[in-house]
Amino acid sequence: MKSLNKILTLAAVLLVSISLSAQSPPPPNNDGGSTSSDPSGAGNTVGGNAPIASGLFILLGLGAAYGGKKLYDLREEKLEE
């Protein structure tokens, strides 16, 4: 029964990921140039030149801290036995 649940879950994840990759492309930007109100051109680029590096490092750090806590709890649990 457990293997059937795993297979069904895997099939559902694969079907969802296939349907999500079939989305239409975003509309084109305005020739990639800048406008008179925004000389940097940030308003016309896809994503608006948003920095993602700092958020990525925060998420990686939080994930590492969570994993470390889980390992610590597992080690403490084994020591109690």
Render pLDDT for 12-69 as a digit per residue (tens, 0 to 9). 888 887 766 666 777 776 655 555 555 555 555 666 666 777 788 899 999 999 999 9
The tokens of 49 are what?
């030149």
Phi, psi of 13 (to 5 degrees): -65, -45
Distance CA 57, CA 54 (A): 5
DSSP for 17-71, written as a single string: HHHHTTPPPPPP-STT---SS-TT-TTTSTTTT---HHHHHHHHHHHHHHHHHHH
Query: What mean pLDDT is predicted for residues 9-14?
Result: 90
Spell out the residues 6+ positions from residue 38 whose beta carbon is closer than 8 angstroms to its own.
Answer: 44
pLDDT in the model for residue 26: 72
